[in-house]
Structure 1
C-alpha cells in the first residue's frame, strides 16, 4: 500500500501583510517560510524541494496528528476497546499520528485572502488505527508581526485528538539554536525513559537542568538535551505567552503564545538537509532549529493524571497558537 501523497497536487499559498510574508504548503498544512520585514532570511526552517517533506524535512512546519508526539507501543484503550496504532518506524512507538498522519496529507484550501487561509482534511474512521471520522481545519492568520495558527477538529465517535504545529525556529537563519536564549514558563516537566516515553512522573523544573523560567542560553554547560514536554497547566487556558526565544546575532525575539496545556521543546538534534534544498543558505545539520510544539502532554492515553486527549462527538477540539516576532 502506497501511503505517499502525490506531490503534483501540492499548492503553495503566500500570505502577506505590511510586516510578514509567509508561505504555506497544502502538504501537511506546513509553514514553509516566514519572512519579517527588514530581514532576508526565513525565521523558520523549510525546504524548496517538496520531496524533502517526505524525507529529510519530514515534519518541518507541519500540523501533526491526529495525535502528536509518542503513544507507547501504539497501544490505546478508548471506551474499553483496545486499538493498535501503527508504529512510526524505526521507532517501536506511534509518533505524530503514524506514518500517514496529517503531517503527510495534502490538505484542501477552503478559504483564502491576502493574510488568511483555511485548510481542511478529513480523516476516515479506522485511518491510522483510530476510531471516528474526523474533520480537521487549520486557519493561518497574519496579525501585524504575528502568525496565528488555529486548529479545530470534530469527530463522530469517541477518539483521541492532540494536534501540534511542528515548525523549527532559527531567528538568525543560520548557525546552532544552542546559542539562542530560551525562556519557558513552566514549573514542571515530564521525565522520559530511554525511548522518550514519559515515565508518569511530573517533576519540578526549579533547580534542574530543565529550568528555563528565566531567559538563558540553551546550550550552557549543563545542557540536558531537549525533547521534553514542559507542563504549562492541566487544561486549556486563554491565549498567553508561554515561551520566549531570543537570537544572539540579529537580536530578534519570538514570543510563543498558546492555549494548550503542554509545550514539547525539541532541539533538532537529528536535522540534516542539503544546502541545495534549504530555503536559507547553507546545509542544515544538528541543532539547526528549535521545535516549539504546543499540545497536550504526550502518551496521555496511558497516564490518567495527564490532561486527557479524548474527543467526543459532543465536543469540538480547538487550539490557538501564535508566533509573535519582534
Structure 2
C-alpha cells in the first residue's frame, strides 16, 4: 500500500494582514513560512520543495497526530481492548501518529479568507491502528502580529487524541538557535529512557538542567539535550503564555501561548536541509531551529497518572495555540 500523498494535489495558501504574511501547505496542514513586517527572513524553518516534507523536512510546520509524540512500542489499551499501532521507522515506537499520520496527509481547504484558512482531514476507523472515524479541523488565523492555530477533532468511537503543531523557530533566520534565550513556565518535566519514552517520573525543574523558568541562553554550557516534555498543567486550561523565545541579532521575541498541559521542546539536533531547499539562506544543520510543540504528555495512554488523552464520541477535542511576535 502506497502511503505517500499525491504532491501534484498539494495547495499553497497565503494569509496576510498588516503585520504578517504566512504561507500554509495543505500537505500536513503545514506552516511553510512566517514573515513579520520589516523583516526579510521567515521566522520558521521551511523548504521550497514539496518532496522535502516527506523526507528531510518531515514534520516542518506540520500538524502531527492523531497522537503526537511517542507511544511506547505502539502499545495502547483503550476501554480494555489492546491496540497495536505501527512503529514510525527507524524507531521501534509509534511517533506522531505513525508513518501516515496527519503530518503527511494532504488536507482539504474548507474555507479561506485573506487572513484565515480552515483545513480538514478525515481519518478512518482502523487507520494507523486507531479506533474511530475522526474528523479533524485546523484553523489558522492572523490577529495583528499573532498567528493563531486552533485544532478541533471529533470521533464516533472512544479513541486517543493528542495533536501538536511542529514548527521549527529561528527568529534570526540564520545559523543556530543555541544563542537564543528561552523561558518555559514549567515547574516539572518528564525524564525519559534511551528511547525517549517517559520513565513515569515527574521531576521538578528548579535548580536543574531543565530549569528555564527565567530567560536563559539555550547554549552548550551545561546544555541538556532537549527533546523534553515540560509539564505545564494537569489538564486543558485557558490560553496563556507558557514560553518566551528571544533572538540576539534581531531582538525579536516570541511569546508562545497555549491551552495544552504539556510543551515538548526539541532542539533540532537532527535537522539537515540543503541550501537550495531552504526558504531562507544557507544550508540548515543541527540546532538550526527550535520546535515548541504544545500537546498532552507523551505516552499518556500507558501512564495512568498523566493527563488523559481519551476522546469520546460525545466530546470535542480542542486546542488553541498562538505565536505572538514582538
**TM-score bracket relative to the smaller structure:** over 0.9
Deviation (angstroms), 1:221: 1.2
Match of 2:214, SS? coil
Match of 2:311 in 1: 311
Unaligned runs of 5+ in 1: none
After the TM superposition, which parts of structure 1 deviate over 3 Å for at least 4 consecutive aligned residues? none
The CA deviation string for residues 198-247 of structure 1, in whole angstroms up to 9 with x for no partner, is 00000000011000000010014110110000000001110000000000
In structure 2, the partner of 1:72 is 72
1:177 aligns with 2:168: no
Task: Name 1:50's counterpart in structure 2.
Answer: 50
Q: Where does residue 122 of structure 2 map in the other structure?
A: 122
SS at match of 1:177: coil
Deviations 1:55-114 (A, max 9, x none): 000000000000000000000000000000000000000000000000000000000000
1:186-225 matches, within 5 Å, as 186-225=186-225
TM-score by length of 2: 1.00
The reply to whether residue 239 of structure 1 matches residue 239 of structure 2 is: yes
- Matches of 1:220 and 1:277 in 2, distance apart? 28
Structure 2 runs not aligned, ≥5 long:
none
Count matched residues.
326
Structure-2 separation of matches of 1:189 and 1:2: 38
TM-superposition CA deviations, 1:257-286 (whole Å, max 9, x none): 000000000000000000000000100000
Equivalent residues in 2 for 1:21-36 (5 A)? Answer: 21-36=21-36
The residue aligned with 2:279 is 279
The alignment's C-alpha RMSD in Å is: 0.4
Distance 1:126 1:174 in 2: 42
Q: SS at the partner of 1:179?
A: coil
Work out the CA distance in 2 between the residues paired with 1:222 and 1:53: 33
1:134 corresponding residue in structure 2: 134
Cα distance in 1, alignment partners of residues 291 and 144 from structure 2: 23
Give the Cα separation in 2 of the matches to 1:292 and 1:156: 30
Match of 2:3 in 1: 3
Q: Which residue of 2 aligns with 1:97?
A: 97
Per the alignment, in what secondary structure is the counterpart of residue 301 of structure 1?
helix
The corresponding residue for 2:84 is 84
Normalised to the residue count of structure 1, the TM-score between the two structures is 1.00
